[in-house]
Structure 1
């Protein structure tokens, strides 16, 4: 049965860390900010991909990096600053957005959340429990992902959030495919809703027709990251992928809705 997160026709466009246009960037807006999420929503994105960290006072924030160096030239780590300090840093960069604010402010957005920090797993799961129908939880760490899912269930989620596996599980899927172990692939995909993968990793192909076929046999969608060029978007959609994770949600939405694109 399809998870409610993936209800509705595809292909899906997942706004990677929100949407920051060139003009917004020139005015100081950064990714994973309140303004970036709002811009993705305003552009028509149903899905927003983001990342979760925990501040020193226990607030889950949408923030990609472990530290503030890239965003603000500040060497402090997210876990070393309080939420109000991070809000001050982000005040002229599009504004800080917490996970709680995101869920409350954008009730019609479906959030794809990557749990970046081990100590964020439990609070992320607890916060999304009431919105499990519109949340997908993932992490490069399967342990962290499963901890967040367990926390959502413990917090009373009506059903578990959707989920995409970590890098360990994806590596096992690829190995099983190479060995043509269809039953092993089916077992590995049994408890996931989407495979979110790059086209290749360190020069090694990850996406393949065989992987797409195996995922679709298991009723699992394949979402590819991070795709920003229109021609590559078209190529991947024509290849059969179900979703694009992109920094240019505005462009991808136009490509996905193009006259030559059959609704899926």
Structure 2
């Protein structure tokens, strides 16, 4: 059965990677303003990342430290919410997960759990909105902890690196029963086209995923022609820094 996260939305999916930041716009990725910009551009899906502050608030932030975004070398986990809000005030505003879910009730969120300490908090916060949330993580353990914390609600989900590695190996070797077992319980595969020398996205992977009722979302694609090519291959979603460009390209 298709998860509600994927029902009633435009296909192919356009997932706004960390919101939308256009050139010459002085806001930070994953900021409240970036999410608002994606929403204003017409993006139904926003991809973001979850860390937790020193006082236990789940915030949308990609890096482990603040250095690249604010110049502060400390880790997000070592900074209280109030101070992080002050640092982000001139950069588009800090987005907490709770605030984002409340402020954008029509938006579907794709959440990557970046920190182990954030997993339980993410799960609990999204439980009431599980119909419009996908939970993923590079760590299958973090992903499963977040999903368990959301129970009995079930957000959509995409696998972590360990599961994906096994799946790509099974697909490459043509071992369909193993691949189908690994696809069971998933709603999407959110993948790069390649990982080093390994070709992750293949026609067989697309075919078997679709046979299992699992969508394919590819990241991070900013070139319009490549977006068209991937959709022509059968890809269901494009994760992009330029949701505005993707929406224009794929809905014309």
Q: Flag whether TM exceeds 0.5 (same fold).
A: yes
Q: CA deviation at 1:73?
A: 1.3
Q: CA deviation at 1:204?
A: 2.1
CA distance in 2: counterparts of 1:208 and 1:88, whole angstroms: 45
Q: CA deviation at 1:93?
A: 0.4
Structure 2: give runs of 5+ residues left out of the alignment.
none
Give the 5 Å matches for 1:34-45. 34-45=32-43
Deviations 1:61-88 (A, max 9, x none): 0000000111011101000000011000
TM-score for both structures, normalised by structure 2: 0.98
- Secondary structure of the residue that 1:22 maps to in structure 2? coil
- Secondary structure of the residue that 2:69 maps to in structure 1? helix
Corresponding residue for residue 199 of structure 1: 193
* Moved beyond 6 Å, runs of 4+: none
Corresponding residue for residue 251 of structure 1: 245
Corresponding residue for residue 170 of structure 2: 176
Corresponding residue for residue 21 of structure 1: 22
Corresponding residue for residue 152 of structure 1: 150
CA distance in 2: counterparts of 1:20 and 1:145, whole angstroms: 27
- Secondary structure of the residue that 1:75 maps to in structure 2? coil
Corresponding residue for residue 127 of structure 2: 129
Structure 1: give runs of 5+ residues left out of the alignment.
259-264
- Secondary structure of the residue that 1:91 maps to in structure 2? helix
CA distance in 2: counterparts of 1:69 and 1:137, whole angstroms: 26
Deviations 1:139-184 (A, max 9, x none): 000000000000000xx52xx0000000110111111112211111
Q: CA deviation at 1:202?
A: 1.4
Q: CA deviation at 1:53?
A: 0.2
Q: 128-137 or 6-15: which moved more? A: 6-15
TM-score for both structures, normalised by structure 1: 0.94
CA distance in 1: counterparts of 2:59 and 2:184, whole angstroms: 30
Deviations 1:28-73 (A, max 9, x none): 2010000000000000000000000000000000000000111011
Corresponding residue for residue 63 of structure 2: 65
CA distance in 2: counterparts of 1:174 and 1:105, whole angstroms: 38
Deviations 1:12-37 (A, max 9, x none): 0000000001131xxx2010000000
1:208 aligns with 2:202: yes
CA distance in 2: counterparts of 1:245 and 1:132, whole angstroms: 20
CA distance in 2: counterparts of 1:233 and 1:177, whole angstroms: 23
CA distance in 2: counterparts of 1:177 and 1:63, whole angstroms: 33
- Secondary structure of the residue that 1:222 maps to in structure 2? strand
CA distance in 1: counterparts of 2:2 and 2:41, whole angstroms: 26
Q: CA deviation at 1:239?
A: 1.1
Corresponding residue for residue 77 of structure 2: 79
Corresponding residue for residue 11 of structure 2: 10
